[in-house]
Chain A
Amino acid sequence: MRVRTGRFRLYAAVAGAGFRRYATYRIATLAGVFTNTVFGLILAYTYIALWDERPGLGGYDQAQALTFVWLGQGLLTVMSLMGGGFEGELIERIRSGDIAVDLYRPVDLQAWWLATDLGRALFQLLGRGVAPMVVGSLVFDLALPTDPLQWLAFLLAVLLGVVVSFSIRFLVALCAFWLMDGAGVTQIAMLAGTFFSGMLLPLNVFPGALGEIARALPWSALLQVPADVFLGKHTGVDLLQTYAFQIGWAAALLTAGRLLQAVATRRVVVQGG
């Protein structure tokens, strides 16, 4: 039991460090909020034009579509959809060989980075998620949940989304063991992330089979799913199924990351560290 609480405290401290590290950049955060707000405004008006033309598109009314825009701006950095998470640093450590030192440490590589990323995500949610949402709700008529439980349900969906996002980026970063340069994979992952998360356009507006595929892929857990939970599209058993979808992808991808980590670690030894 002592060991377990010790572990927990260690990872909580790591997460705290991740939080504080991003909290240091106050001006950068303000600048980011400004940019997210400008993009939110531009996108909101294009969505109004789209929903004026086709009311009820994708099962959303106009207020819900606009809420989706601002949720997207708010969650953009939380989910690291455009990069900017831990993966750049991990890739650099793999490339430079510093990773050998990390592997000596008596902590688990994957759990360590997950903890820092959770800390980062929490800061981004507070620092860059709340303000654009507030501006959005002042300028437009948004569909905000009135039931506090729905807000809690949304926060849980965001947490699960961050874990899925982490597990994808962990896999991407580990590719550096073989490629030595992470730029290409990072860019592909970023493209897939923006396209399949719903950042470009809600996934239920995607036509036909493309929409069905997009909704089944792990990236939909990053924005589409939390947004739908926020908008009250999933309740009761359906909500549990939605969480199961997120947990399923998180478990599968985390396991894949663990296996890849084991293979990669053996490679480090072969190279002579």
Chain B
Amino acid sequence: MWIRSLMAYRLSFAMTALGNLAVTAFDFAAILLMFSQVDRLGGYSLPEIAFLYGASGTAFGLTDLAMGSMDRLGRRVRDGTLDTLLVRPVPVIAQVAADRFGLHRIGRVVQGVLVLTYALVVLDIDWTPLKVLMIPLMLLCGSGIFAAVWVAGAAFQFLAQDAAEVQSAFTYGGNTLLQYPPTVFTKDMVRGVTFVLPLAFVNWIPALYVLGRPYPLDLPTWVAFTPPLVAAVLLALAGLAWRTGLRSYRSTGS
């Protein structure tokens, strides 16, 4: 339905999709500007960073496409329109995710894929079947991990209705963090996003395996193959948080 409503204004759709592409392209423009001054950042070359950037950006874009509207939940709780969704015979989460589904967010995915393609063309990787398999696996599990963060953030909004921006710190902030190599950050930050909020499994851990570079925390090599497990556990936990949040929901009564 939202797709049809968007397509009613084709020109506007094209403009917003392009606009989205441009907005995200600016992130990469910042990296390009940095590389106009240096050859390496944190010991990594531009194509290597482009690889990290493209992998995280594509995974993030896919999640954003599927559930970027989740941050509207706080507003729905505030103004009471969540009640409308509760009485429909469709899971609330699907409705919240599909609310104002924005196909124009495809711009973000396109940008991620473009940068990733550039990296894959330019990089000189020792390809093995496992490494080839790692690319689609990384994108899929990466968007699963981001999705879990999004759902958990939405569950949090049942408690703090006005705090949609906290969610951005983990979603957009996480994406920004992952666009740079782990060597840029302190050991404690790397530990935090590996063991506490395991965003590192979106791209850092699998991508560094593909690039043949060591992970800064001395993890065994097989850890590179755990993103599916991490994504599954995180999604289960996020689902639990969502149920708890939904059950605690008291309508505003307005």
Chain A residues with a Cβ under 8 A of chain B: 25-28, 30-32, 34-35, 38-39, 41-43, 45-46, 48-50, 53-54, 57, 181, 183-184, 187-188, 190-191, 194-195, 200-201, 205-207
* A42-B173, A45-B186, A191-B23 known; A31 vs B38 contact (CB < 8 Å): no
- Within 8 Å by CB of B169, from A26, A34, A194, A201, lies A34
Known A31-B160, A45-B184, A184-B19; judge A207-B173 contact (CB<8 A): no
Interface centre among B22, B34, B170 (most CB of A within 10 A): B34
Q: How far is the CA of A184 from the CA of B23 in the complex (A)?
A: 12
Find out whether the CB atom of A200 lies under 8 angstroms from the CB atom of B166.
no
Residues of A within 8 A of B176 (CB): 39, 42-43
B165 near A45 with CB under 8 A, answer no
- What are 6 of the A-B contact pairs (CB < 8 Å)? A38-B173, A42-B180, A49-B41, A49-B180, A53-B38, A201-B30
Task: Give B185-202 as 1s and 0s: 1 = Cβ < 8 Å from A's Cβ atoms.
Answer: 110010000000000000
Residues of the A chain whose Cβ atoms lie less than 8 Å from the Cβ of B189: 41, 45
**Contact partner of B168 among A26, A35, A46, CB < 8 A?**
A35
CB-CB under 8 A from A183, the residues of chain B are 12, 16
Residue of B nearest to A52 (CB): B42
Question: Chain A contacts of B40 at CB under 8 A?
Answer: 53
Shortest Cβ distance from residue A94 to the other chain B in the assembled complex, whole angstroms: 18
Within 8 A of A (CB), among B137-179: 160-166, 168-170, 173, 176-177
At the interface, yes or no: B114 with Cβ under 8 Å from chain A? no
List, in ascending order, chain A residues with CB within 8 A of B173's CB. 35, 38-39, 42
Most buried by A among B37, B168, B183: B37
For the residues of B in contact with A, the DSSP-based class is helix
Which residues does chain B contribute within 8 Å of A200, judged by CB atoms? 26, 29-30, 33
User: Please, which residues of chain A bring their CB within 8 A of the CB of B36?
Assistant: 207
Residues of B within 8 A of A (CB): 12, 15-16, 19, 22-23, 26, 29-30, 33-34, 36-42, 160-166, 168-170, 173, 176-177, 180, 183-186, 189
* Other-chain residue from B30, B37, B42, B164 in contact with A31 (beta carbon distance below 8 A): B164
Query: When the two chains form their complex, are residues B162 and A25 in contact, meaning their CB atoms are under 8 A apart?
Result: yes
A57 and B37 form a contact (CB under 8 A): yes
Q: How many A-B residue pairs have CB under 8 A?
A: 98
CB distance from B223 to the nearest CB of A (A): 23
Given A31-B163, A35-B166, 7 other A-B residues pairs in contact with their CB atoms under 8 A: A34-B169, A35-B165, A35-B169, A42-B185, A46-B180, A200-B29, A207-B37
- Which residues on the A side are within 8 Å of B169 (C-beta)? 34-35, 38-39
For A184, what are the chain B residues with a Cβ–Cβ distance below 8 Å? Answer: 12, 15-16, 19
Given known contacts A181-B12, A195-B26, is B41 in contact with A32 (CB within 8 Å)?
Answer: no
Contact A27 B41 (CB under 8 A): no
Contacts of A195 in B (CB 8 A): 26, 29
List the B residue with the shortest CB-CB distance to A184: B15
A42 to B168, CA, bound (A): 14
B177: chain A residues at CB < 8 Å are 42
- Option from A35, A39, A46, A190 in Cβ contact (under 8 Å) with B41: A46
Q: Do B34 and A201 touch across chains, with their CB atoms under 8 A apart?
A: yes
Q: How far is the CB of A52 from chain B (nearest CB, A)?
A: 8
User: Are A49 and B162 touching (Cβ within 8 A)?
Assistant: no
Report Cα–Cα, A40/B41, bound state, in Å. 18
Known: A35-B169, A200-B30. A27 touches B160 (CB 8 A): yes
Minimal Cβ-Cβ distance residue in B for A28: B162
- Among A25, A187, A206, max chain B CB count under 10 A is at A187
Instruction: Name the distance in Å between A22's Cβ and chain B's nearest Cβ.
Output: 12
Given A35-B168, A184-B15, A27 contacting B163 (CB threshold 8 A): yes
B106 CB, min distance to chain A CBs, angstroms: 16
A187 CB, nearest partner CB in chain B, Å: 5
A194 touches B165 (CB 8 A): no
Q: Which residue of A lies closest to B15 (CB)?
A: A184
